[in-house]
């Protein structure tokens, strides 16, 4: 049995059901992110794991024990919130010691654990500081140490990086992941930032309107989105309308250009419109580009994004974006120029919902 299980979880506030048929089995030591837009129910699921909300249906177990109706203080769970939520009248060491004091641990044990935790977050030298004397990133590291000090079975992180500057966000997420792996603690992380989820998770749950749309590793979610919603939400993706020409040969047309797909077009029939996904980084317009599939179109715009130049071309009624890696001397195609994008047929995915 998995370490943390959510079975058929439902949650309604009054007449409004905000979590529907939510199932998830998380292994011990796994780092799982709940990813989705504002209001999709991520925080509500997290709060049910913590015990701040009670499900209106379903079961939550940790280490084989049913926790569905336990109060938060009866669960062995650590939580970090978006707003650092440190006790303002306590210094760093006192904040980290808080849970251990409440649990009635002996002073020597508390002191040793606080020292260990401050070492873990590299803030041993700031033990006497008060929250108002620290940066947001430092406060959030203290909040993490405070959550971890009582050795919880599960660590819950509710958008812990959202209030921080972009640069600190990246360095702190790497630090969180490194600490999580060092301790081997089972972790659930809530975010609406796809890059964040892709970069630190073992698995991602993409949530849409209270349901889990897709559960998979970052590579599975990014490379093989199973629904239109996931395809749109995770990464910049071209969604292209295509007409089925010959389902037996998996032959379709984008505008008036024929393409043979790798995956079966059936059950779509000749004349049906289907949706295809193509990542902007999949193809190349270089003269020596490889790939058995080609689309030719007229360039409508070209944007410098730093590491890549994103160019858009018109193919039939579709506008297709593709990326060129920036390098010295690269001259992007001009607007109005005709270019041919080459890629492998396997890069074109059928999106079926």
Buried b (16+ CB within 10 A) or exposed e, 207-246: bbebbbbbbbebeebbeebbebbbbebbbebbebebbbbe
Nearest residue to ligand ATP by CB is 43
Distances in Å between the alpha carbon of 186 and those of 43, 53, 138, 296? 17, 20, 23, 48
Q: How far is the CB of 193 from ligand ATP (least distance, A)?
A: 10
Burial class (CB in 10 A: 0-12, 13-18, 19+), 166: exposed
Q: Which stretch binds ligand ATP (CB under 6 A): 31-39, 140-148, 290-298, 332-340?
A: 31-39
Q: Which of 6, 26, 42, 311 binds ligand ATP (CB under 6 A)?
A: 42
Q: How far is the CB of 24 from ligand ATP (least distance, A)?
A: 15
Q: Verify binding: residue 192, ligand ATP, rule CB under 6 A.
A: yes
Q: Verify binding: residue 304, ligand ATP, rule CB under 6 A.
A: no
Q: How far is the CB of 41 from ligand ATP (least distance, A)?
A: 4
Quote the CA–CA distance of 278 and 280 in Å, as a whole number: 6
How are beta strands 257-260 and 318-325 bridged, if at all? unpaired
Q: Which of 26, 30, 31, 41 binds ligand ATP (CB under 6 A)?
A: 41
Closest to ligand ATP by CB, 39 vs 264, is 39
Burial class (CB in 10 A: 0-12, 13-18, 19+), 338: exposed
Alpha helices in 61-165, H assignment, sequence order: 92-102, 107-120, 136-148
Report the length, in residues, of the chain.
353
Binding mask 255-294 for ligand ATP (x = CB under 6 A): ----------------------------------------
- How many residues bind to ligand ATP according to rule CB under 6 A? 11
Closest to ligand ATP by CB, 36 vs 216, is 36
Residue 276 phi, psi (nearest 5): -120, 145
Closest to ligand ATP by CB, 42 vs 75, is 42
Q: How far is the CB of 72 from ligand ATP (least distance, A)?
A: 15
Q: Verify binding: residue 75, ligand ATP, rule CB under 6 A.
A: no
Instruction: State the residues that interact with ligand ATP by CB under 6 A.
Output: 13, 18, 36, 38-44, 192
């Amino acid at each position: 049995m998995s370490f943390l299980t959510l079975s058929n979880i439902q949650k309604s506030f009054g007449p409004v059901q905000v979590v529907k048929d939510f199932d998830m089995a998380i292994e011990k030591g796994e780092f799982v992110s709940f990813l989705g837009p504002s209001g999709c129910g991520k925080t509500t699921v997290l709060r049910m794991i913590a015990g701040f909300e009670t499900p209106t249906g379903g079961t939550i177990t940790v280490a084989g024990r049913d926790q569905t109706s336990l109060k938060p203080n009866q669960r062995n769970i650590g939580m970090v919130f978006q707003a650092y939520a440190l006790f303002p009248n306590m210094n760093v060491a006192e904040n980290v010691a808080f849970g251990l004091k409440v649990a009635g641990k002996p002073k020597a044990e508390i002191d040793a654990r606080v020292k260990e935790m401050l070492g873990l977050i590299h803030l041993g030298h700031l033990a006497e500081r008060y929250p108002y004397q620290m940066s947001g990133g430092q406060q959030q590291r203290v909040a993490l140490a405070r959550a971890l000090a009582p050795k919880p079975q599960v660590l819950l992180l509710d958008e812990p990086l959202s209030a921080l500057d972009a640069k600190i966000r990246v360095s702190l997420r790497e630090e969180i992941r490194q600490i999580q792996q060092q301790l081997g603690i089972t972790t659930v992380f809530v975010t609406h930032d796809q890059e964040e989820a892709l970069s630190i998770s073992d698995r991602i749950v993409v949530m849409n309107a209270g349901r889990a749309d897709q559960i998979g590793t970052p590579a599975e979610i990014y490379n093989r989105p199973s629904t239109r919603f996931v395809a749109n939400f995770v990464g910049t993706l071209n969604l292209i309308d295509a007409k089925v020409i010959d389902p037996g040969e998996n032959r379709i047309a984008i505008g008036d250009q024929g393409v043979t797909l790798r995956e079966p077009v059936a059950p779509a029939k000749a004349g049906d419109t289907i949706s295809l996904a193509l990542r902007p980084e999949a193809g190349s317009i270089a003269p020596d580009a490889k790939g058995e599939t080609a689309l030719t179109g007229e360039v409508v715009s070209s944007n410098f994004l730093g590491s890549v130049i994103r160019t858009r071309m018109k193919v039939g009624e579709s506008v297709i974006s593709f990326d060129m890696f920036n390098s010295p001397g690269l001259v992007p195609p001009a607007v109005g120029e005709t270019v041919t994008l080459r890629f492998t047929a396997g890069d074109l995915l059928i999106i079926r919902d």
